[in-house]
Amino acid sequence: MDTREEAAALTAKMTLDEKVKLLTGKDFWRLNGVERLGLASVMVTDGPHGLRKQISRSDHLGLAESVPSTCFPTACGAACSFDGELIYKMGEALGEECRKEEVAAILGPGVNIKRSPICGRNFEYLSEDPLLSGRLAAALIRGIQSRGVGTSLKHFAGNNQEKRRMTTDSVIDERALREIYLKAFEIAVKQGKPWTVMSAYNKLNGTYCGENPVLLTDILRKDWGFEGMVISDWGALSKGLESFAAGLDLEMPGTGNGYEEQVKRAVQEKRFSIEKLDEAVERITALILKAEEGKKVPFTCDMKAHLDLAARIVEESAVLLKNDEIAPGNPMLPGRAEEQIAVIGAFAKHPRYQGAGSSKINPVALDCAWDAFLEAGCKAEYAPGYSLEDDLIRPELLTEAESAAAGKDRVYIFAGLPDAYESEGFDRENMLLPAAHVELIKRVSAVNSNTGVVLLAGSPVDLSWEAEVKAILLACLPGCQGGRGIVNLLLGKANPSGKLAETFPLHERDVPCAAPSGQIYPCEGKIVQYRESIYVGYRYYNTAKKQIRYPFGYGLSYSSFEYSNIALDKTTLRDGDTLRVSCGVKNTGNRPGKETVQLYISQENPAIYKSEAELKDFIKLSLEAGESKTAEFLLTHEAFQYYSAKKQKWAVENGVYEIRIASSSRKTELAATISLEYAEAEQEDYRASLPGYYNLEQEIPFSEQSFLAVYGRPLPEETPVRPYTIDSTIQEINGVFLGRLIGRVVDKNIAGFAQGDKSLELLTRKMMQDIPLKQLAFSGVPMRMIEGIVHLLNGHPVKALGKFLRKRGGKS
């Protein structure tokens, strides 16, 4: 009997009460079981770049203590490896640590597309490109699940900003939704087969994701064939019965809000069939059975090996952005251990190695670059350069740094974004580094021109100071073993091979979802128009011929590589054909290195609007000095498809296409053409009605009028602030006395929780302003009480009293 059959057999033996009890969590992290039938209660925990199993108090913001575990590089860095095999190994290690801590499933990976570099949670996501995101997510999923532990692919879908993330409405046209924002999920579901998918907090095209049957049933299950369990993000439910009807299986966490009683009553009253309930119960039961079966999978949990792997991922994902010569034939990097060096910047001793929020890991061991330099035998002098307590420019620290840098052979500055600048729960205000970091870079490089910068940040930053320094190494957020990984790269013990998984624009105003396209990110209202449609990241910058700082797919090496001999096995592609593409790559440097060979496809003069080129495949080659290898790719018709919103299906347009072999999205090394001659092809031309989507170089290509035509239906209406609902935020209820009182109570609790930690207090305060009232259930406030408070806020004391006196699980 397989798991699904066993789950069905167990479900058939359950009482109605036992069934509905399974629909919601037992507590913050545990699922309910059915003890009578031997069905255990199992635990899920946060991830995705490490295990965050909380010890006592529970929260979803990374505030309470958790068990020690390996903190791997966050997704923003790991994605720059472009290496599925390496990410699979990371998944294996995560799975082993879950098994050690008896965790059934880890909540990750996250594949939300990086629509803007100032999204506060970008460090937890992989890329601006759906193909790269989907493939690496699938690799991580397979690695984790190979150890008998489940995953939860998140946040499904359109969760691309943190500001008001629980109440915004992502308005996305059908083509952009399918090609960009759902594609990574589709790839990960089909290739990785995650045990669960987590629905997002936000609305999508007018409907909360957790209440959206098109998303949870039509697309996820019917189109993609997903057979696992759909779980809510923590506290996301607004209308429980609508979520159940849409295809949500499990509400988390268990807050005692009466959801199971509502479903029970709906089944008894024949509003839902018992078969509908059984489907959800069977999927939850199957997850528990898989977790129990997973305990039989042999495993070892070698924490030292995991730490070594974490350091290796840093070495293979850090991106060398710049490496000028300090003398003829002598580049700034790599340096040598015997040189006199200065190590500047507090991050060298106290690294920014991970993001803040629900993914915050308690590392089993934490190194730093300063210790790694000393262990390598370097003759080094250290100066902090800036304070970690605030962003103030401190003259005395700058003077100390200048003194340390003067006369040294090389200077390494560690700079980046502090925790308070980027986190789950809020977005950045701009792309700027702290002024103290920028001033340090300028002052030190003026004293010693042999200066390089190590950047520690979870997403692109303003690099207008780059001309001041000789080298820039982007380490992203490198995890708990970033110190030795970074120093191994700086001293040449490892060779950089990372490639940018997202574009570095010059300024946040250059991003397609920002002004002057008619919007500001994040926009002030709850309705978020994705006016740029398919033009996200490099798809926009390259098509619009926009000047940028560094392109997607870019990264330098201490080696050099030569491309040659592109070959296509066909000149014409017809129905049912596949296309084999190959080329030669040679390491022409004097040391071993790795090169990511990228394949892009560009159509000549398409009728439908398209980006200038799109990534369709990639492979990372490891080459000894002087060694040559062949990169091989196999393409199917899917590589040439676009989504036809008009026909509601994937389509192909016949014509001439260029196959590009590239070292970045803006550097084509080799190219060849192929003709498509499909019997069933489409030709959709919207030049007359949508000129802005064909000519991206005009000042405002994405007007609201054009977007309305692309969207093809009326826009969802902005929800008024009043009357208040359980989805109203702490900030929104400030308009009435009771709301202000609640705000003060929340504020006082934040101050008490932070216990004098100003950075934590600021971070939490930013998050809490956009928390909806329903999230108070996490603090133990019953949902009926929250509903009563809402009535009081709206001036209805009698209705409020009814809620306060209502028994748990009664009708709303």
DSSP code at position 719: P
Which of helix, strand or coil describes residue 200? Answer: coil
Strand partners, 75: none
Which of helix, strand or coil describes residue 586? Answer: strand
Q: What type of residue sits at position 581?
A: V
Q: How far is CA 346 from the centre of its chain?
A: 27
Radius of gyration from C-alpha coordinates of the chain? 27
Please state, in angstroms and rounded to a whole number, the distance separating the CA atoms of residues 348 and 352.
9
- Identify whether the C-beta of residue 173 lies closer than 8 Å to the C-beta of residue 530: yes
786-801: buried (b, 16+ CB within 10 Å) or exposed (e) per residue? Answer: bbbbbbbbbeeeeebe
User: How many Cα atoms within 13 Å fall on the side-chain side of residue 606?
Assistant: 25
Measuring CA to CA, which residue among 47, 59, 53, 24 is closest to residue 776?
A: 59
Measured CA to CA in angstroms, residue 417 lies from 159, 365, 427, 466, 734 at distances of 23, 22, 13, 16, 31
The gap between the terminal CA atoms of the chain, to the nearest Å, is 42
Contacts of 750 (CB under 8 A, 6+ apart): 761, 764, 765, 768
Cis peptide bond N-terminal to 522, omega within 30: yes
- Identify whether the C-beta of residue 128 lies closer than 8 Å to the C-beta of residue 537: yes
Question: Catalytic: 617?
Answer: no
Please state, in angstroms and rounded to a whole number, the distance separating the CA atoms of residues 313 and 80.
10
- Identify whether the C-beta of residue 773 lies closer than 8 Å to the C-beta of residue 789: yes
Give residue 222's region: left, alpha or beta (phi > 0; psi -120 to 50). Answer: alpha
Please state, in angstroms and rounded to a whole number, the distance separating the CA atoms of residues 193 and 746.
40
Please state, in angstroms and rounded to a whole number, the distance separating the CA atoms of residues 115 and 26.
36
Identify the active-site residue in 83, 169, 233, 427.
233
Beta strands in 553-681 (DSSP E): 561-568, 572-573, 579-587, 593-603, 614-623, 628-635, 641-644, 649-652, 655-664, 667-676
Please state, in angstroms and rounded to a whole number, the distance separating the CA atoms of residues 572 and 790.
64
3-state secondary structure 165-183: CCCCEEECCHHHHHHHHCH
Give residue 206's region: left, alpha or beta (phi > 0; psi -120 to 50). Answer: left
Measuring CA to CA, which residue among 327, 481, 470, 488 is closest to residue 411?
A: 470
Helices (H), 269-368: 274-294, 303-317
For 781, the token pair is: 């406030």
Give the residue numbers marked as catalytic: 233
